[in-house]
Structure 1
Amino acid sequence: MSALTPGPIKAAPADFGSAEPTRWNSALQRIATGNGMISVLSVILALVAGSIMIAFTDSEVQRTAGYFFARPGDMLLAVWESISGAYVALFQGAIYNFRVDGFAAGIKPLTETLKFATPLIAAGLGVALAFRAGLFNIGGQGQMLMAAAAAGWVATSMDMPWPLHMLVAIIAGIIAGAIWAGIAGILKARTGAHEVIVTIMLNHIAFYLLAWMLATPGILQAPGSNNPKTAAMAESALLPGILGSQYKLHAGFILALIAVAFTWWLLERSSLGFRFRAVGENPAAARVAGISVGRMYFLVMVIAGGLVGIAGVSQVLGTVTSGFGSDIDAGIGFDAITVALLGRSTPLGVLAAGILFGAFKAGGFAMQASENVPIEIVLVVQSLIVLFIAAPPLVRAIFGLPQPGARKRPAKPKKPKKPNDPATNDSPRTEEVSA
């Protein structure tokens, strides 16, 4: 007697697409899709676009383009010389000038970069802090102007010994910036007024208010002068130089570094900073958790305005010490928005972004002087950085980076085939067993 018994059914092969990514692959994916990588790649793309504009505006490139098909090497060489010459000039004007004798003279461009970066860092921190709480603080111009007015009035109208005079002027500027930003904060908290509209209006009010103070004798206008400009700042109120009289870098840079450390501690180590971040992530959930959202809006704007006030103080007491007019902000209030975006609203990111933009400012003048590169190209590069930062999917698409949260879908495992399925040719193996 014999019987047919089905043999063992082989399991379906493992699907390699469903394998879990390794730890190193996960780390690389986080780096590739992270905000920091997007910022770096945005700068690279902006520099590439700037290179194209530098080449197009160069007279030698334009001349050799006329006979490109006859001698293409001439044009390619001219393109290389124009681009490399411009960026070498940028490096020499912003980091280190290796064409001068001595290390002390060579690092002077770096000190200029840090001097230009000082108000950008401080104002960028004020904008970034408001970003973390879900507010769009574009009132940096007005807050800087009011801080400059307060610090300038103390520096020109009061007679105190150093360093008391300097400290009082610094505190007055910080308080003035905090009060001016606090107006927007309290309107947001009490009435729900949009902070963008309020801060824009406060910028205009601050500009014309400062213009009135500069044109009114006895307030900020220099005695015996009809020009809308203050008198020179008192020596006892000035920020001292850091590296000596041969450099223009002043103690305002130290204030900016202290502001970076304070903002990092506030956001990462304090309970108030935790509430700021909670409100920025989800105001409704923060309110349910017992956090006073309106109070947080007011406090964050006050602190942000104080940080921006440091930028105004550094301009008045460290950079423009011979007197200032209504253009003392020099566009820094709006550049701070770019710095905060590039720094991803983190204190260390703002520090790096501020130094980068300070290098653009310092090196842009060297590019214009030595290579005849229009200074507007540097401004275009800065604008392109903002454009690329605002479009992360575009940057990821250009460099072929994965989108955040997008993981490869594992393939569906194949269903095991039923034994004795007439629809298939693969019938289960049988064995004959004899009784």
Structure 2
Amino acid sequence: MSTPLKPLPAWADVALIPLINVAAAFVISGFVVLAIGENPLEAVQILITGALGDLEGIGFTLYYATSFIFTGLAVAICFHAGLFNIGVEGQAYIAGLGAALAALYLGFLPGYSLVFVAIVAAALFGAAFAFIPGYLQAKRDSHIVITTIMFNYIASAIMGYLLVNVLRVPGQMNPETPGFPWNGRVPQFHEVLAKIGVHWPVTPFNLSFLLALLAALAVWLVIWRTRLGYEIRTVGANPTAAIYGGISPARITIVTTLLSGALAGGMAVNVILGEEHRLILEYTAGFGFVGIAVALMGRAHPVGIILAAILFGMLYQGGAELAFEKPKISRDMIVVIQGLVVLFAGALEHMFRKPVATLLARRTTQPPI
């Protein structure tokens, strides 16, 4: 009878297993690149150089990573409560509406107080849109996976109507709002650094990145250092035991979805207030769904989410450079690579766990020479 393996140490579970999964995804991707007649090693070099080879590439990589941190945190906080929020895309979309309305109609606010109000409005609109599926799950037993998927389409329909018929600039064909005033915009890093004499290339990388890091710290504190976080994790682990402990799963479901929607609003801050400076159609561009992969790959831990977000930011920025340098490797191929990362980090995340556990067990039980 075989001896049961010891659980993996925390460092192996959080760092080593995801690293092996990503490596496996890139190996398979290398074979795909080789099959279309390109050198996989050269492709990897172009991808990494395009993402991290200069300050401009780093700026774009961190800009994309900022959105992924917010969407990954939004998905992860629901994971801890045993919920699968697939509606981050729609919640971030509606959050953009809140940010835009504040920036456009509260321009009388002095200085940068306007942008702070717009940030709060984005969080409130995202939370409000997430509240409805959360309430339906908690009070009407409607499955949150189904309702959040449906609400993505509702968000798209609402925003399409408003941008075409209500908020669009009269006489303009593009479905977008007027530009925001200067104090309704999140400053970009090249603007801030120029004031202290530091040159940074012009990129959309903005101060929302710092807000994303603060959000990651806040999620860590809430989940692992507060009573609310303990209740969230208890409901996620065993709702029946939570009830016996005096915890209401319905209340935790609603509170968690509100927090998730507010975090999704951070993407609106990054894109709408930090880059576009106006509300445009379909600005979320699928980043809400990428947040699911980021949360899975990061093991729903803020540090892991930050690292996974940077990886996906590298894939987006480096992939654009790769598609430009190697026309055979189109943007669709980059989507394939992202899909393989999601496959190995999500559906097949336990594939290497047993071999790694066996190897580590042998190393720890090996007698000294």
Give the TM-score of the pair, scaled to structure 1.
0.75
Aligned partner of 1:391 in structure 2 is 348
115-124 or 226-235, larger mean C-alpha shift: 226-235
Q: 2: CA distance between counterparts of 1:180 and 1:211?
A: 16
Which residue does 2:365 correspond to in 1? none
Q: Within the alignment, does 1:341 sit opposite 2:299 as a pair?
A: no
Instruction: Find out whether 1:288 has 2:244 as its counterpart.
Output: yes
> 1:431 maps to which residue?
none
Is the 2:235–2:242 Cα contact (8 Å) retained in structure 1? Answer: yes
Are residues 1:89 and 2:46 paired?
A: yes
Which residue of 1 is the match for residue 144 of structure 2? 195
Q: Deviations over 1:239-290 (max 9, x none)?
A: 1012436332101111111100100100111110110000000000001000
Q: 1:426 matched to which residue of 2? A: none
- The answer to which structure has the higher helix fraction is 2
How does 1:25-64 map onto structure 2 within 5 Å?
A: 29-30=8-9, 34-58=13-37
Instruction: Give, in angstroms, the shift of residue 334 of structure 1.
Output: 0.6
SS at match of 1:232: coil
Once structures 1 and 2 are overlaid, which stretch shifts more, 299-308 or 364-373?
364-373
In structure 2, C-alpha distance between the alignment counterparts of 1:393 and 1:91, rounded to whole Å: 27
Cα distance change of structure 1 residues 364 and 154 upon mapping to structure 2, 3 Å threshold: same
Structure 2: which amino acid aligns with 1:115?
Answer: Y
Q: CA deviation at 1:396?
A: 4.1
5+ residue gaps, structure 1: 1-16, 62-81, 97-105, 408-435
Distance 2:12 2:213 in 1: 29
| Seq. identity, % | 33
Cα deviation code 1:215-237 (max 9, x no counterpart): 223xx212332432212222211
- Alignment map for 1:144-183 (pairs within 5 Å): 144-159=92-107, 160-183=109-132
Q: Does 1:240 align with 2:197?
A: no
Secondary structure of the residue aligned to 2:160 is helix
Aligned to 1:204: 153
The 1-side partners of 2:190 and 2:34 are apart by 38
Q: Is the 8 A contact 1:140 1:333 kept in 2?
A: yes
Report the equivalent of 2:253. 297
Count of aligned pairs = 349
Q: Where in structure 2 are the equivalents of 1:98-137 lying within 5 Å?
A: 106-137=54-85
In structure 2, what is the Cα distance between the partners aligned to 1:147 and 1:388? 31
SS of structure 2 residue aligned to 1:254? helix
Partner of 1:369: 324
Deviates more, 1:149-158 or 1:135-144: 149-158
Do the aligned residues in 2 keep the contact of 1:85 with 1:371 (CA within 8 Å)? no
1:295-338 residue CA offsets vs partner (Å, 9 max, x unmatched)? 000000000110011112211011222x3432111111111111
Question: 1:261 is matched with which residue?
Answer: 217
Q: How far apart are residue 35 of structure 1 and its match? A: 4.9
Verify the 8 A CA contact 1:139 1:199 in the aligned structure 2. Answer: yes
- Contact 1:178 1:301 survives alignment (8 Å): yes
The 5-angstrom pairing of residues 216-255 of structure 1 reads: 216-217=165-166, 220-244=167-191, 246-248=201-203, 249-255=205-211
Instruction: State the shift of 1:41 in Å.
Output: 1.1
Q: When the two structures are superposed, what TM-score results if normalisation uses the length of structure 2?
A: 0.88
Runs of 4+ more than 6 Å apart: none
Which of the pair has more CA radius of gyration?
1
Distance between the aligned counterparts of 2:28 and 2:276, measured in 1?
Answer: 34
